[in-house]
């Protein structure tokens, strides 16, 4: 299942930051990881990923460096900054609160895998 | 450049360098990056579409292009098909829009300022270029020949009333229009030559010995010219029509007034358009006859002395009549300079009258005295001054500087500004044009900006009319009236957009002093001649001014400082005439004393006590209210003016 655009806009950056919290990654790697670890939920149009990364970089939450990858080709690697880590923690708290709120309303019966991942399941 | 090395450089400096060089360095050529990649054509097309649509800076496009190419290469490496990759990527236009927005947000403050400055600069240049083109597109179209209006009164004068018809040929014969110092027409012999100085001094006196003899010989040799002055001087008009273009004068006029003129054909080659415009404007009109007439008055002044020494009171009377006539003749053209020369000549006449009456040889008969009295009072001094030509001059300059939209309005033109700059440069600073090319370019580039600051043609014309009306309303108000608008201050306070008015309208109100002076001198001369007539009938001078009113004077001449009759006091042998002066207080005829060291200020008590004070000379007296100027203005007996 894919997320609606508006939901993706809110959750996408948190998901990307969560991935980068484990180490630096380049664009295609992020696309693959999102698809693989979110069971397709965050399988986004790839054209959306790069603007999202540029936005996070503009906000100082991630930084990027050009360097050669394992095959020798140069790629742009993104990593989470200290500000990004702080922001990720805040986002995580907010998502948990949201999920709990939705649970109390009976929107879902148990904590979803996504909520589990966002609350630190991937780390 | 090595990437890792690039990362060591602080961001701002790297950005500055990249920003400046990026348009010129192939490293940032994103098209080349795409072209050189090994990706399938369809993918290249997608990347190209995205990058082109972002409309980002070249350096940013290059960065994004490299990242997207790496992205697709990674996809290919993971065995994704071309179609899958293109589909997974999504709509290139949407991608471009999102990338653009995110990149714009990510720009550093430095980049934003740099780009903002660059765009502002480009916008300013574009506006300036537009302004420059607009400014240079308009041309002045002078359509009114103001010389017609200028000469209207002269043209109405019959040939018999024109003095120029009498003067001209004999003027040429005696080289009277030749302004070169060694020309016989300069009549240097009538000026006393001080042995200690090379300067020509005062007019020659019969007591000057050998120098007087030379002066007399010159007068005798120039009898024909002096006869012409005496005859022409009685005619009501000078009768000389003025032209902006010298080639419009007759050959006879040219020979008399412009003996060194070589003809238009030669001058044309030396003239540029600016010179030509100025030359053909009223500002460029030459008035060589004005100063020549002043010289003629001085010659007649010396001839009066000569005539009286010969006992020829008739010739002296004719000389005096001619000088007063000349004073009026030069004001034909209604330029302010003509008015001022007219006053000067009139003053020479008044001095001739006073001097002749006091002379032991001044045995004028009654008829001659009556003629002198008529000559002195023939013209009101107010008739001498007119601002008409100055008004026309401003109008003429406006039509030469501004374009004409046919509805009385227009805008300042490039040709017009060149004319204005040439005018102000030649008239105010006397600097030659075109020698400083830096200044020339700076002035040229700055000119279009005047469109934003200068008044329009209509605004300029309206303001000129407004000031002219103010002058007309205030100029002839009595001197003792205090509610006179200070037009000069009003003009000086005008916004700079009325630069033309500030430059071309002369300080007319300061000429009020000259008019009041001339009127007062004239009044005094009238009283003096009347007193001598009275003495002829009664054997002695009158006791009061009132005794002259009726038979000898139509009314008592007025003191401009209080509107009362000029002061007249009988002395033992003679009489005195004086004005109460700027302090408006009657000091009994005691003149204003000025410091011998600084004649522009009143003498202090110490200076008077120590003999370092002297009476104010006629030329130093300002006819204006000033309570600090203690003392009166002596009008009779008058000391010789300081020539």
- Of B163, B85, B526, give the one whose Cα is nearest residue B328: B163
Q: What is the pLDDT of residue A36?
A: 82
Residue the block writes with tokens 């406006």? B398
**Mean pLDDT calculated for residue range B176-204:** 81
- Of B347, B345, B359, give the one whose Cα is nearest residue B292: B345
For residue A88, give its domain range.
Answer: 5-121
State yes or no: pLDDT of A70 exceeds 80.
no
pLDDT tens per residue across span B432-455: 555 566 767 767 778 888 888 889
**Mean pLDDT calculated for residue range B497-506:** 83
User: How many whole angstroms separate alpha carbon B100 and alpha carbon B115?
Assistant: 15
State yes or no: pLDDT of B641 exceeds 60.
no
Q: What is the pLDDT of residue B500?
A: 85
- Better-predicted residue by pLDDT, B106 or B97: B97
User: How many whole angstroms separate alpha carbon B242 and alpha carbon B282?
Assistant: 9
State yes or no: pLDDT of B266 exceeds 50.
no
**Who's near B152: CB < 8 A, 6+ residues apart?**
none
- Per-residue pLDDT band at B491 (split at 50, 70, 90): confident
**Start-to-end C-alpha separation, chain A:** 23
- Of B583, B572, B582, B566, give the one whose Cα is nearest residue B636: B566
Q: What is the pLDDT of residue B427?
A: 57
**Mean pLDDT calculated for residue range B410-419:** 87
- Chain A, window 53-72: residues with a beta carbon less than 8 angstroms from a chain B beta carbon: 54-55, 57-58, 65-67, 71
The proportion of chain B whose per-residue pLDDT surpasses 70, expressed as a percent, equals 90
Q: What is the pLDDT of residue B21?
A: 65
**Mean pLDDT calculated for residue range A6-18:** 84
- Per-residue pLDDT band at B6 (split at 50, 70, 90): very low
Q: Of the candidates B7, B99, B105, which has its C-beta nearest A50's C-beta? A: B99
Collect all residues of chain B within an 8 Å Cβ-Cβ radius of residue A55: 102, 105-106
Q: What is the pLDDT of residue B504?
A: 78
Number of other residues whose CB lies within 10 A of the CB of residue A2: 13
| Number of residues that this document lists for chain B | 643
| Number of residues that this document lists for chain A | 123
Collect all residues of chain A within an 8 Å Cβ-Cβ radius of residue B102: 50-52, 54-55, 58
ipTM: 0.84
- Of B70, B65, B73, give the one whose Cα is nearest residue B30: B65
3-state secondary structure B419-440: HHHHHHHHHHHCCCCCCCHHHH
Q: Is A52 helix (H, G, I), strand (E, B) or coil?
A: helix
Distances (CA, A) of B35 to B45, B61, B69: 10, 14, 11
Q: What is the pLDDT of residue B9?
A: 39
Paired strand residues for B613: B595
* Chain Cα centroid distance, residue B59: 59
Judged by average pLDDT, the poorest of B161-175, B235-249, B312-326, B503-517 is: B503-517
User: How many whole angstroms separate alpha carbon B523 and alpha carbon B564?
Assistant: 13
Instruction: Please identify, in words, the CATH class of the domain defined by B526-636.
Output: alpha beta
Cβ pair B292, B240 in contact under 8 A:
no
State yes or no: pLDDT of B600 exceeds 90.
no
Residue the block writes with tokens 């029509």? B241
**Mean pLDDT calculated for residue range B172-200:** 81
The domain tally of chain A equals 1
A87: CATH: 1.10.10.10
- Better-predicted residue by pLDDT, B258 or A70: B258
Q: What residues of chain B have any CB closer than 8 angstroms to a CB in chain A?
A: 3-4, 7, 50, 63-64, 66-68, 70-71, 73-75, 77-78, 88-92, 94-95, 98-99, 101-103, 105-106
State yes or no: pLDDT of B335 exceeds 80.
yes
**Mean pLDDT calculated for residue range A92-102:** 88
State yes or no: pLDDT of B197 exceeds 70.
no
Q: What is the pLDDT of residue B195?
A: 65
Cβ pair B625, B479 in contact under 8 A:
yes
Give domain limits for chain B: 3-107, 161-384, 388-506, 526-636
Q: Closest residue of A to B92, CA-based?
A: A47
Mean pLDDT of chain A: 82
Q: Of the candidates A54, A65, A73, which has its C-beta nearest B73's C-beta? A: A73
Q: What is the pLDDT of residue B445?
A: 79
State yes or no: pLDDT of B428 exceeds 60.
no
State yes or no: pLDDT of A62 exceeds 60.
yes
Q: Is B535 exposed, middle or buried (0-12, 13-18, 19+ CB in 10 A)?
A: middle
Structure tokens at A97: 């609160």
**Mean pLDDT calculated for residue range B384-402:** 89
User: How many whole angstroms separate alpha carbon A17 and alpha carbon A3?
Assistant: 17
Cβ pair B12, B110 in contact under 8 A:
yes
Q: Work out the minimum CA distance from A10 to partner chain B, whole angstroms.
A: 15
Mean pLDDT of chain B: 87
Q: What is the pLDDT of residue B561?
A: 96
Q: Closest residue of B to A62, CA-based?
A: B106
Q: Is B261 helix (H, G, I), strand (E, B) or coil?
A: coil
């Amino acid at each position: 299942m894919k997320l609606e655009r508006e939901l993706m806009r809110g959750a996408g950056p948190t998901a990307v930051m969560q991935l980068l919290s484990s180490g630096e990654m380049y664009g295609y790697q992020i696309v693959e990881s999102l698809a693989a670890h979110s069971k397709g939920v965050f399988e986004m149009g790839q054209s959306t990923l790069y603007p999202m990364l540029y936005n996070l970089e503009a906000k100082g939450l991630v930084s990027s460096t050009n360097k050669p990858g394992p095959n020798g080709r140069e790629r742009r690697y993104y990593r989470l900054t200290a500000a990004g880590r702080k922001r990720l923690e805040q986002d995580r708290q907010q998502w948990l609160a949201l999920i709990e709120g939705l649970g109390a309303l009976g929107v879902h019966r148990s904590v979803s895998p996504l909520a589990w991942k966002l609350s630190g399941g991937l780390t | 450049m090595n990437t890792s090395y690039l990362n060591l450089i602080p961001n701002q400096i790297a950005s500055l360098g990249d920003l400046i060089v990026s348009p010129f360095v192939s490293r940032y050529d994103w098209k080349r990056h795409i072209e050189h990649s090994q990706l399938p054509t369809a993918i290249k097309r997608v990347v190209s579409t995205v990058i082109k649509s972002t409309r980002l800076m070249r350096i940013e496009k290059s960065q994004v292009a490299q990242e997207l190419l790496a992205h697709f290469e990674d996809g290919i490496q993971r065995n994704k098909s071309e179609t899958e990759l293109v589909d997974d990527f999504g709509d290139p236009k949407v991608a471009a829009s999102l990338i653009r927005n995110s990149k714009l947000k990510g720009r550093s403050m430095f980049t934003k300022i740099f780009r903002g400055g660059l765009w502002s600069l480009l916008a300013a240049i574009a506006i300036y270029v537009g302004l420059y083109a607009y400014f240079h597109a308009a041309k002045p179209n002078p359509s009114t020949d103001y010389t017609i209006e200028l000469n209207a009164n002269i043209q109405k004068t019959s040939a018999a009333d024109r003095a120029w018809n009498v003067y001209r040929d004999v003027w040429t014969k005696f080289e009277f229009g030749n302004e070169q110092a060694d020309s016989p027409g300069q009549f240097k012999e009538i000026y006393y030559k001080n042995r200690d100085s090379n300067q020509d001094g005062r007019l020659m006196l019969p007591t000057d010995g050998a120098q007087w003899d030379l002066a007399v010989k010159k007068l005798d040799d120039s009898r024909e010219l002096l006869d012409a002055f005496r005859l022409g001087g009685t005619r009501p008009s000078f009768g000389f029509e003025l032209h902006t273009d010298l080639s419009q004068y007759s050959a006879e006029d040219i020979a008399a007034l412009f003996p060194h003129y070589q003809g238009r054909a030669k001058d044309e080659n030396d003239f540029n358009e600016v010179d030509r415009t100025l030359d053909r404007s009223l500002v460029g009109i030459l008035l060589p006859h004005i100063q020549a007439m002043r010289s003629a008055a001085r010659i007649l002044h010396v001839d009066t002395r000569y005539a009286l020494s010969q006992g020829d009171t008739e010739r002296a009377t004719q000389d005096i009549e001619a000088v007063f006539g000349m004073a009026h003749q030069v004001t034909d053209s209604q330029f302010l300079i003509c008015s001022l020369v007219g006053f000067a000549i009139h003053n020479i006449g008044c001095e001739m009258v006073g001097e002749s009456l006091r002379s032991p040889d001044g045995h004028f008969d009654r008829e001659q005295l009556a003629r002198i009295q008529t000559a002195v009072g023939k013209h009101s001094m107010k008739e001498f001054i007119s601002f008409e030509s100055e008004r026309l001059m401003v109008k003429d300059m406006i039509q030469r500087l501004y374009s004409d939209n046919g509805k009385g309005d227009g805008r300042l033109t490039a040709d017009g500004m060149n004319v204005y700059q040439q005018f102000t440069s030649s008239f105010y600073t006397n600097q030659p044009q075109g020698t400083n090319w830096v200044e020339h370019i700076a002035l040229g580039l700055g000119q279009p900006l005047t469109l934003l600051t200068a008044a329009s043609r209509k605004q300029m014309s309206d303001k000129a009319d407004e000031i002219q009306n103010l002058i007309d309303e205030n100029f002839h108000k009595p001197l003792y009236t205090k509610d006179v608008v200070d037009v000069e201050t009003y003009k000086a306070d005008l916004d700079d957009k009325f630069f033309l008015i500030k430059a071309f309208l002369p300080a007319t109100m300061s000429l009020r002093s000259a008019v009041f002076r001339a009127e007062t001198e004239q009044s005094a001369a009238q009283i003096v001649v009347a007193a001598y007539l009275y003495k002829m009938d009664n054997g002695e001078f009158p006791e009061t001014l009132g005794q002259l009113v009726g038979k000898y004077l139509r009314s008592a001449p007025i003191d401009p400082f209080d509107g009362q009759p000029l002061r007249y006091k009988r002395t033992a042998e003679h009489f005195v005439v004086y004005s109460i002066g700027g302090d408006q207080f009657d000091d009994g005829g005691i003149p204003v004393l000025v410091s011998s060291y600084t004649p522009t200020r009143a003498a202090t008590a110490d200076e008077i006590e120590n003999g370092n004070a002297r009476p104010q000379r006629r030329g130093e007296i300002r006819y204006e209210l000033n309570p600090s100027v203690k003392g009166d203005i002596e009008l009779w007996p008058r000391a010789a003016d300081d020539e």
